[in-house]
Amino acid sequence: MIQRKKYSEVELDFIFQCAPMAEGLFGLCGFRRCPSGHSISREAYGKTDDSYGWEVGHITPIAKGGTNDPWNLQAQSISYNRSLQDRTPLQALLEAVMGEAKQDVRPPRSTSLYEVYLKEMLKD
């Protein structure tokens, strides 16, 4: 069994703050949006019984060669993160569009500014 990394509060704050701000009143109250569009709350980290619960997800799963480096991490709602299994968000989206998804996976609504920045910085 893969042992999950324990994140410090500073790391969790950073990962949460990189998620896009939720729209409307939720955004004004400090909520963020995970790639599936679910609203998440910083205080609900790891709380599976909270509808705003979230956990740290990997853009490229560890099983597919991903790392725990900051540019490969994002705040994801618990249901979204667990529905991805060992797929990237793009793979899950393509499977959903092609009708081959094993579970109901909502496609990401947008790419965070952090992701866009990192992709530009890492271009060769």
Whether this prediction's pTM lies above 0.85 is answered by no
Q: Which two tokens stand for residue 1?
A: 């069994």
In tens, the pLDDT along 3-22 reads 678 899 999 999 999 999 99
**104: three-class secondary structure by DSSP:** coil
Q: Which two tokens stand for residue 108?
A: 């990401």
Sign of the CA dihedral 37, 68, 94, 99? negative
In tens, the pLDDT along 9-64 reads 999 999 999 999 999 888 889 999 998 899 999 999 999 999 999 999 999 999 89
In tens, the pLDDT along 78-121 reads 999 998 988 888 888 788 777 754 555 555 555 566 666 667 77
